[in-house]
Amino acid sequence: MERQQVDAELQQVVELRHPEPHRVLGIHQDGDAVVIRTWRPDAKRLHVLPEFGGRVPMEHRLGGIFEARLNGRSETFNYLLEVEYPGNQSFTLRDPYSFLPTLGEMDLYFVGEGRHEQMWHRMGAHPMHHGGIGGVSFSVWAPTATSVSVVGDFNSWDGRLHAMRRMGASGIWEIFIPEVNEGTRYKFEIRPGHGGPPLLKSDPFAFRTEVPPATASVVHDLRHFRWEDEQWMTGRAAKQPDHQPWSVYEVHLGSWRRVPEDGDRPLSYRELAHSLADYVKRMGFTHVELMPVSEHPFGGSWGYQVGNYYAPTARFGHPDDFRYLVNHLHQEGIGVLLDWVPGHFPTDAHALGRFDGTALYEHADPRQGTQPDWGTYVFNFGRNEVRNFLIANALFWLEEYHIDGLRVDAVASMLYLDYSRQPGEWVPNRWGGRENEEAIHFLRELNDTVRRKQPGAVMIAEESTAWPKVSQPTSEGGLGFHFKWNMGWMHDTLLYFSKDPIYRKYHHNQLTFGLLYAFSEHFMLPLSHDEVVHGKGSLYGKMPGDEWQKRANLRALLAWMWAHPGKKLLFMGGEFGQTSEWNNDRSLDWHLLQSPGHAGLQAMMADVNRLYRNHTALYDADGEPLGFQWLQPDSSATNVLAFVRRARQPGGHVVCVANLSPEVRQGYRVGFPRHGSYVEVLNTDAQDYGGSGVGNMGRIHTESFPWDGQEASAMLTLPPLSVLWFTPG
């Protein structure tokens, strides 16, 4: 390279606008000599320490760039730099510009195509040995940037010292920095192509972060943790989710239980591992669903505005502490689901928004790229790299953290271009319609990829509209989710149970209407956090009547829900009748369990879960009409409903009878599938649960008297505000 050209490129380096500083910095063959150049803007003098010995002085060339020429050398070699600063401060270090790229051509190709399914193995910060030297490989996607530098604890956050190289047309920038260690804080300093001040961004692929409100990324090695859940993972892969019991306990880690004697702090991941597992196991839930744990800037967003998609929040500990939590739950036989938020992301300056100075992860047009409901950006699902970022992220949690499934938040906001927008505030698709074709393609690709790469893991949609085939295979025109939250059932059921019993006969169809569409999707019935915030009160608070009646209604609601077709999800606190609305900044009101009424409700919930898991009829045909039959859907005048749940194999069934009035009904006839003895396995009015103790003495005998379309029937005593379950005895 001619000296004049070298000088021009070195000037670009000094001005932080060279796209590939490795071209002129580092070690290079130059005829029959080797030239070593480095940029140390504030240094007083430098020496090269070649691996074969000696101490070669470097001359200042321009703008803090120093150069040494070793004549008679026919090949490059390893070396150290001895840097002396004013005040006699001296450091010996390896030159980051003497290393080849750590990314290969195939990596760049698959990222560009949007098909790098494990791109977290290559992007971000990775401790490694490269050229026999330990350090960290850094890479980031910033296609329109003029230049990008890594800044951090290792270089006093000085963006001049570690400018990265651009990897061709990929838009990815890379550098290997030797002798950087795990636990080091860092960010990317990005100089936008349109000019203006540099942007200081956290790493989109960071595996670890500082504790908020600090926002630096932290170098973390994913390879240290040793999993001990092989038995769980092997068994999970062999199961068919549709035919398994799903009783999911939704948890916000920061407010489930706190430590009042230690400043009311939340439990750490490791503390939660044992206390949460013990509680969930005792209560009989099959899974926990964790509200988003991906790092988020604002705790009040509950994790639904994600800043770092590849890092569990540092609020509760180290990433391997979170792995410990998952590992321990699996060892105790408890599945782990995560809330996952691909629909939007926050506008915080350090995060993904306007990442390289342009709309990179989001649409440039605010009619497509912003979400007015939450004041957030919306992902550009039409961009290969963005789809790849998100699909790889889903696989990341399933693979690296052994998560058993993802509940995809706010799917409706992704499917509809006009979601929460007025006319003129959205851009129609190419056909003039409101469907977001790019998001539909993304969701189908996402679900197909998860099914292919992670057998046994489930994808669950929170989708609040009548979009068809959400939980049907993509090969049949569906979106490919395993389950869909049944928001209509939730709304109708809570509305019914909130009514004073005297008015319930006018709302009877709100408990029966859902069965008209119950088998159109594979549904999960959610009583989630969304129903106990923003002035909605607690589940307990929604129930009518005095304290006794509130608890009785809540017991009946939960037993009704667990007998109804569909998988189950209950937000924490509902199982013991939390009286106040959920507050993410304080613990659940565990002291309520000192009251026999609340302790009885909790005991009933544990029994309901045990019975649910033990009776196949309650879950294995959830998505099939053969699993459900009405016995009495029309007894609105008495507030009584009855149905039978059946297993796919002949013979197994459970009869559910609900009396949702405050009156005891003696001698009330209900049809049963066969003649003989039935055990009253559940009575929500049992005294042990805080009820009045009215019932059928634990057992009934049917008679050969056809009723409700069945060959047999029995005269029952129906307790007030109660649900009864009967099984053949």
Hey, which residues are catalytic here? 409, 462
Determine phi and psi for 51, rounding to 5 degrees: -65, -25
DSSP state letter for 34: E
Integer Rg of the chain from CA: 31
Euclidean distance between CA atoms 307 and 524, whole angstroms: 28
Rounded Cα distance, 312 and 309, in Å? 8
**How far apart, in whole angstroms, are the C-alpha atoms of residue 133 and residue 178?**
7
SS (H, E, C) 355-414: CCCCCCCECCCHHHHEECCCCEECECCCCHHHHHHHHHHHHHHHHHCCCCEEEECCHHHH
In sign, the C-alpha dihedral spanning 446, 447, 449, 453 is positive
Phi, psi of 616 (to 5 degrees): -55, -30
- Write out 418-475 in H/E/C secondary structure: CCCCCCCCCCCCCCCCCECHHHHHHHHHHHHHHHHHCCCCEEEECCCCCCCCCCCCHH
Query: How far is Cα 171 from Cα 194, in angstroms, rounded to an integer?
Result: 16
d(CA 107, CA 101): 12
> How many beta carbons lie within 10 A of that of residue 575, not counting itself?
26
Q: Decide: residue 133, CB within 10 A, 0-12 exposed, 13-18 middle, 19+ buried.
A: middle
Alpha-carbon separation of residue 116 from 119, 264, 399 (angstroms): 5, 43, 15
CB neighbours of 623 closer than 8 A, spacing ≥ 6? 242, 519, 521, 522, 523, 565
Distance CA 729, CA 702 (A): 11
Tell me the C-alpha to C-alpha distance, in Å, between residue 366 and each of 61, 362, 379, 604.
Answer: 48, 9, 11, 50
Contacts of 261 (CB under 8 A, 6+ apart): none
From the CB of residue 383, how many other CB atoms can be counted at a distance below 10 Å? Answer: 17
Whole-angstrom Cα distance, residue 336 to residue 406?
A: 9
Torsion of CA 352, 356, 360, 362, to 10 degrees: 40
Residue 462 CA to residue 414 CA, distance in Å, equals 11
Q: Tell me if 342 sits within 8 A of 243, measured CB to CB.
A: no
Cβ partners under 8 Å of residue 674, min gap 6: 702, 711, 712, 728
**What are the φ and ψ backbone dihedral angles of 235, each rounded to 5 degrees?**
-65, -35
Distance, CA of 480 to CA of 138 (rounded, Å): 35
705-to-41, 578, 669 alpha-carbon distances in Å: 97, 44, 10
For residue 594, is it left (φ>0), alpha (ψ between -120 and 50) or beta? alpha
Three-point CA angle 514, 517, 520, nearest 5°: 140
* Rounded Cα gap, residues 66 and 59, in angstroms: 5
Q: What's the CA angle centered on 706, arms 704 and 712, to 5 degrees?
A: 45
Q: Which residue in the block uniquely carries the two structure tokens 């039935």?
A: 678
Which residue(s) pair with 678 in the sheet? 700, 728
Q: How far is CA 219 from CA 29, 125, 168, 185, in A?
A: 33, 6, 26, 6
